[in-house]
Amino acid sequence: MEAILFSADPNKVDVEAAKRHLAHHKELYWAVLFPIARVGPLDGFIHMCGGRVEYRITISQILPFSPNDQVDERFKPEAWIQKWKENPKNLQARPWKNQLVMTDITCFSCDTLSFKKTDGTNVRMPPQGYVRVLSPSCAPAKR
């Protein structure tokens, strides 16, 4: 099955806050800097910078970026909203492209380089944007 693989910096994004948000809301909007064809639903995997893939996600749709959605508690954890409001030159000035509308985030620890791209070649390094991949053959870590 085709999916996407992208990277997240654990110093910039709190994935656990996102998971807590989804425990009480049906959607989470995750803004990304890369353009992506608007398809969905789609599975995804998050590579945590400096490590490996740590999360599997379900993407229900991909929307154009909207700054208004960044302060809407239906779509964002409170901690993310506060960061957005407190750092206008850092966060608000970045060239955001799309929002991945996520409905599920689960732990899924797997070596990033074990992923295969849809053309059959191996992922050689964590993506700067995103890469289309096949779901990996490794089993997720139990947590």
- The answer on pLDDT for 139 being more than 60 is no
- The answer on pLDDT for 106 being more than 70 is yes
Mean pLDDT value of segment 20-26: 96
Residue among 88, 111, 143, 95 at smallest CA distance from 5: 111
Each domain of the chain, given as residue ranges in start order, spans: 2-129
- The answer on pLDDT for 41 being more than 60 is yes
CATH number of 2-129: 2.30.130.30
Residue among 68, 75, 42 at smallest CA distance from 57: 42
Measure the CA angle with vertex 55, ends 50 and 59; round to 5°: 125
- The answer on pLDDT for 141 being more than 70 is no
pTM: 0.91
Q: Regarding predicted confidence, which is higher, 104 or 38?
A: 104
